[in-house]
Amino acid sequence: MEFLMDPSIWAGLLTLVILEIVLGIDNLVFIAILADKLPPKQRDKARLIGLSLALVMRLVLLSIISWMVTLTKPLFTVWDLTFSGRDLIMLIGGLFLLFKATTELHERLENREHDSGHGKGYASFWVVVTQIVILDAVFSLDAVITAVGMVNHLPVMMAAVVIAMAVMLLASKPLTRFVNQHPTVVVLCLSFLLMIGLSLVAEGFGFHIPKGYLYAAIGFSIVIELFNQIARRNFIRHQSTLPAACTHRRRHPATDGR
């Protein structure tokens, strides 16, 4: 338990929890769309069952990938580069994160929105729950690979996933509302995905990047985004006072010496 006294462990846990929560926002939006196909009384139950089953699946997937990345025995050599099972997982996972983050960033920068269909009547409860679990399995891949790329301890990864899923279960509606009001937060986290994906690709080729550099870059970016949000809020507050000032000038125009 000595590793619990390491500040970098807690920094990695906090960073990973924040990333897992924000990266799961899109998942929550899709789950809300699927749950809307059910009668109102069954929607919360479907969301709870679907995300609970998805949590178990995510932990199993995390355990499997974490075990596979310990496979360091060389499998083959290309030119002067030797690749093991861990290297292949890091390389494939990093490329997946780069692809995922790039496509998501492109969609958000192009201001595209997800379309949802409107069918007649209500869908079957377990059909919707099954769709939620399958959908979360797809979204779990980048979340699990992100966890593997951020920290080295399996208990920390599992704790971050459990905490993030618990937060999403308890606060799905407020989280969705917050991200809709602050889209730059999602863009910032997708940029983190690009950075983590690049570091995984580098590790796949044998170039180790200390995770402390990632923590420092992510922490600095979060502070800058916090300043940006404060400045934007103050600007909006200042703008809201301008109409009253303009109205006052119209009512009391300057005489310019007349």
Q: What is the pLDDT along the chain (258 residues), one digit of tens a residue?
A: 555 676 777 777 787 787 777 666 656 766 766 776 778 788 778 778 877 877 887 788 777 776 766 666 777 888 878 888 778 877 887 887 788 778 878 877 776 544 444 444 577 888 888 877 776 766 666 667 667 666 667 777 788 888 888 887 776 666 556 666 777 777 777 787 788 788 888 888 888 877 677 778 877 887 888 888 888 888 888 888 776 555 555 555 555 454
**DSSP type of residue 235:** H
Q: What are phi and psi of 74, to 5 degrees?
A: -60, 135
Give me the residues paired with residue 76 across strands.
Answer: 83
Its pTM stands at 0.56
pLDDT computed for residue 198 by the predictor? 87
The C-alpha torsion from 175 through 156 and 147 to 34, rounded to 10°, is -40
Annotated domain spans of the chain = 2-208
Residue 116 CB neighbours (<10 A): 13
Note the pLDDT of residue 119.
Answer: 46
End-to-end CA distance of the chain: 83
Q: Could you give the CA distance from residue 94 to residue 105 in angstroms, rounded to a whole number?
A: 16
Q: In the prediction, which pLDDT does 208 show?
A: 80
**Token pair belonging to 218:** 């992510």
- List the alpha helices (DSSP H) in the chain: 7-23, 25-35, 40-68, 85-109, 125-150, 154-170, 172-181, 183-204, 211-251
Q: Between the CA of residue 162 and those of 18, 42, 178, what are the distances in Å?
A: 12, 24, 21
pLDDT of residue 70: 65
Q: What is the pLDDT of residue 172?
A: 66
